[in-house]
Amino acid sequence: MKKIIYMDNAATTSTGRAALDAMIPVLEREYGNPSSLHQLGQQAADLLADARKRVAACIGAQPDEIYFTSGGTESDNWAITQLARTGAAKGKKHIISTAFEHHAVLHTLKRLEKEGFEVTLLDVHQDGIVRVDELKAAIRPDTCLVTVMYANNEIGTIQPIAEIGAVCREQGILFHTDAVQAVGHLPIDVVKENIDLMSMSAHKFHGPKGIGALYCRRGIRLTNFIEGGAQERNRRGGTENLPAICGMAAALENACSGMEERSKTVSAMRDRIIDEVVQNIPYVRVNGDREKRLPGNVNICFEGIEGESLLLRLDLEGICASSGSACTSGLLDPSHVLLAIGLPKEIAHGSLRLTLDEENTEEDVQHLLEVLPGIVSGLREMSPVWEEMMNKNS
């Protein structure tokens, strides 16, 4: 079998050794329910408390500010719907967000709009970065919540979170950030960055799937999203997924130790790919700011071709990538992220996202750079769009 080169780490990551080593003993032996008073239950409760403490420490939070959830989507839904309801109770029904949020945020906001909320989506400009002065200008007396993602999942651009947080704090508006792509990849300190609520997902940093957390700053009244037992300090019912929680804590600690070193290696591979593609393949566009960018994110549009066919051709070469293109998601419209940074639809269709991490090697990058130009020119040769572009230019 051909070697698989995995460059889709923003979709999900491999389950790391740290997570597996933490999870397997729990799966095998620690089956107690943390709510039980007997010794097996109490052992489980200790493991849960320890995991909570370690997750909190990785982001500069206190243990009682961490609520375990089923992942980023639930955390986003929880934070946004419940804070919106709290706002509405005070007559505040305006929310500020951005046009390129993850669907977990955008679709939640859509539903709130139907319920009578007003949503302002900030422009993310051509570089994929929100402007703090535009946020300031969008704030109204009835604004109850600002939700801006930490780093974008498609184009990797990092937002000025600390500044946004400072503005919100000053104005007395709650600030939530979907940090699913950032946690474990960028140094985060919720206190220094003025973050009130933050969504996290374990499988983006070599933890298991189906587990995540919501950080909610002390003193913020968070109402229940899932009703049930007294788990998560009465805030989220349901027996805790202890093996996954232990896996998440171990994976996050592992991701946060040696982050700087890893980030250097990964961003060097990222920059090599971007530089060589731009140099060797004509009519390409790099999407998103080159500096304020996640270490592993490459997002490039190849004019004249469609993203899914590029993705499938790469797959035939053993390279797992992703495309924000319409076809990949089963929709006809191209990526809302690429449209939000102002790309015309016909160009947005030709996007390729490669998301690297420390498991990738220079040999992987070399192989990619060897096969990519041929794949692109092969698809362009059979593309009527490319033919027309060339005819216009000749």
Q: How far is the CB of 336 from other proteins (least distance, A)?
A: 13
Helix (H, G, I), strand (E, B) or coil at 198: strand
Applying CB under 8 A, among 88, 119, 139, 327 the residue interacting with other proteins is 327
State which amino acid sits at residue 288.
G
Applying CB under 8 A, among 305, 352, 354, 365 the residue interacting with other proteins is 305
Each as own residue / partner, the long-range contacts of residues 223-230 (CB below 8 Å, 24 or more positions apart, any chain) are 223/82, 223/85, 223/86, 224/82, 225/74, 225/77, 225/78, 225/81, 225/82, 226/74, 226/78, 229/35, 230/35
- Residue 339 found at the interface with other proteins (CB under 8 A): no
Length of the chain: 394
- Residue 382 found at the interface with other proteins (CB under 8 A): yes
- Residue 374 found at the interface with other proteins (CB under 8 A): no
User: End-to-end distance of the chain based on CA atoms, in angstroms?
Assistant: 44
Report, in angstroms and rounded to the nearest whole number, the Rg of the chain calculated over CA atoms.
Answer: 22
Q: How many residues bind other proteins (CB under 8 A)?
A: 28
Cα distance between residue 9 and residue 359, in whole Å: 10
Q: Which stretch binds other proteins (CB under 8 A): 109-117, 121-129, 167-175, 302-310?
A: 302-310
- CA distances 211 to 67, 150, 163, Å, are 11, 19, 29
Identity of the residue, 370 or 381, whose beta carbon is nearer to other proteins in the bound complex: 381
- Residue 330 found at the interface with other proteins (CB under 8 A): yes
- Residue 386 found at the interface with other proteins (CB under 8 A): yes
Q: Which stretch binds other proteins (CB under 8 A): 51-59, 145-153, 276-284, 342-350?
A: 342-350
Identity of the residue, 24 or 382, whose beta carbon is nearer to other proteins in the bound complex: 382
- Residue 333 found at the interface with other proteins (CB under 8 A): yes
Please provide residue 212's backbone torsions phi and psi, each rounded to the nearest 5 degrees.
-160, -165
Q: Which stretch binds other proteins (CB under 8 A): 272-280, 341-349, 354-362, 363-371?
A: 341-349
Q: Which stretch binds other proteins (CB under 8 A): 10-18, 72-80, 135-143, 301-309?
A: 301-309
DSSP string, 295-308: TTEEEEEETTS-HH
Q: How far is the CB of 324 from other proteins (least distance, A)?
A: 12
- Residue 383 found at the interface with other proteins (CB under 8 A): yes
Element (H, E) at 206: none
Can you tell me which residue has the tokens 């093996």? 243
Give the sign of the dihedral formed by CA 312, CA 318, CA 324, CA 328: positive
- Residue 226 found at the interface with other proteins (CB under 8 A): no
**Do the Cβ atoms of 189 and 183 come closer than 8 Å?**
no
Q: How far is the CB of 44 from other proteins (least distance, A)?
A: 40
- Residue 325 found at the interface with other proteins (CB under 8 A): yes
The tokens of 113 are what?
């709009």
- Residue 390 found at the interface with other proteins (CB under 8 A): no
- Residue 65 found at the interface with other proteins (CB under 8 A): no
Cα distance between residue 121 and residue 336, in whole Å: 13
Applying CB under 8 A, among 174, 251, 326, 352 the residue interacting with other proteins is 326
- Residue 282 found at the interface with other proteins (CB under 8 A): no
The tokens of 70 are what?
């089923």
- Residue 165 found at the interface with other proteins (CB under 8 A): no
- Residue 306 found at the interface with other proteins (CB under 8 A): yes
Q: Are strands 319-320 and 5-6 parallel, antiparallel or unpaired?
A: parallel
Known catalytic residue at 327? yes
Q: Which candidate in 58, 216, 320, 327 is catalytic?
A: 327
**Do the Cβ atoms of 193 and 182 come closer than 8 Å?**
no
- Residue 324 found at the interface with other proteins (CB under 8 A): no
The tokens of 288 are what?
């998103």
- Residue 304 found at the interface with other proteins (CB under 8 A): yes
Cα distance between residue 333 and residue 325, in whole Å: 8
142: Cβ contacts below 8 Å, ≥ 6 apart: 91, 92, 93, 94
- Residue 312 found at the interface with other proteins (CB under 8 A): yes
- Residue 384 found at the interface with other proteins (CB under 8 A): yes
Identity of the residue, 312 or 369, whose beta carbon is nearer to other proteins in the bound complex: 312
Binding site for other proteins (CB under 8 A): 304-309, 312, 315-316, 325-328, 330-334, 344-346, 349, 382-387
Tell me the catalytic residues.
327
